[in-house]
Amino acid sequence: MRSILPVLSVTAALIVFWYAAVIPMNAQWAQDQARRAGTELSFAALVTDTMTQARPRLPAPHQVAQELWNSTVVEEMTGRRGFMNTGSLSNRSLIYHGWVTLSATLLGFAIGSALGIALAVGIVHNRAMDASVMPWAIASQTIPILAIAPMIIVVLNAIGITGLVPKAIISTYLSFFPVVVGMVKGLRAPDQMQLDLMKTYSASGGQVFAKLRWPSAMPYLFASLKVAIAAALVGAIVAELPTGASAGLGARLLSGSYFGQTLQIWAALFAAAILAASLVALIGMIQRVTLKRMGMGA
């Protein structure tokens, strides 16, 4: 609780900095407009103009907030295709697009973290896997996923899989890696003294794993799960870019970029940010509860 004041002041400083940046970023356009109209802008007029442009280079925070509000609550409540009028989510609202992205994210995250934990357990317990798999897990992350996304989707289409699964596969691909790295580190965190103690108890491999390695890996697991779910969201968004997807936050980013709709880009970006923050906060909550029950909580 004692960190509320610092967080608020840092956030306030960021917002002030943002507002200050809006003026020089958008001044060019405002000056050009004024010159064409043959008028001279006063400083006050310049500031108001930079804050209210329809397609600013850098939109002001309140414009983004306004756009977010319009494309979620207002669209669903009053829009022609909104929830109130049709009973289903509007395809113009960020709630709909966010849900499309979220479902792919969660599926990919679930598969990816399960795969990551399994691989890490294998790497720690099997020297053949340690020697051969780990370098390739690293190499796999250097393959630009966006490049193979269209190919994955073409191949999966050929065998009749469409929709959610291809995106989830890309999320899986991005999210398994942090879990592998974190869990390998975590499962190896017990030092020689502790392992020797287990040996003096004549503990079996399974017991060493269940009673020593697994519990001491928990802080590492949650740290990497937080990274992994954020990566899964990035994967789902990136997967929507090259495939001509018509729904999802990535599709909103791309169409905003095509048509120069900066407000739409920023609103989609912030919707993605809010989604990511809530997902990470959710895992943070589970982490706190789990670690507290294990007696490791602060």
Alpha-carbon span 95 to 231, nearest angstrom:
20
Nearest distance from C-beta of residue 155 to other proteins, angstroms: 6
Nearest distance from C-beta of residue 91 to other proteins, angstroms: 20
Contact 192, 130 (CB under 8 A): no
Q: For 79, which DSSP code?
A: S
Nearest distance from C-beta of residue 263 to other proteins, angstroms: 12
Contact 256, 264 (CB under 8 A): yes
Burial label, 17 (beta-carbon count in 10 A; 0-12, 13-18, 19+): exposed
- Shorter beta-carbon distance to other proteins: residue 83 or 134: 134
HSE toward the beta carbon, residue 98, CA cutoff 13 A: 19
Instruction: Look up residue 282 and give its two tokens.
Output: 């959710």
Alpha-carbon span 260 to 24, nearest angstrom:
19
Q: 10 Å Cβ neighbour count for 198?
A: 18
Nearest distance from C-beta of residue 110 to other proteins, angstroms: 18
Alpha-carbon span 230 to 227, nearest angstrom:
5
Question: 288: Cβ–Cβ under 8 A, 6 or more apart, which residues?
Answer: 297
Nearest distance from C-beta of residue 12 to other proteins, angstroms: 10
Nearest distance from C-beta of residue 188 to other proteins, angstroms: 5
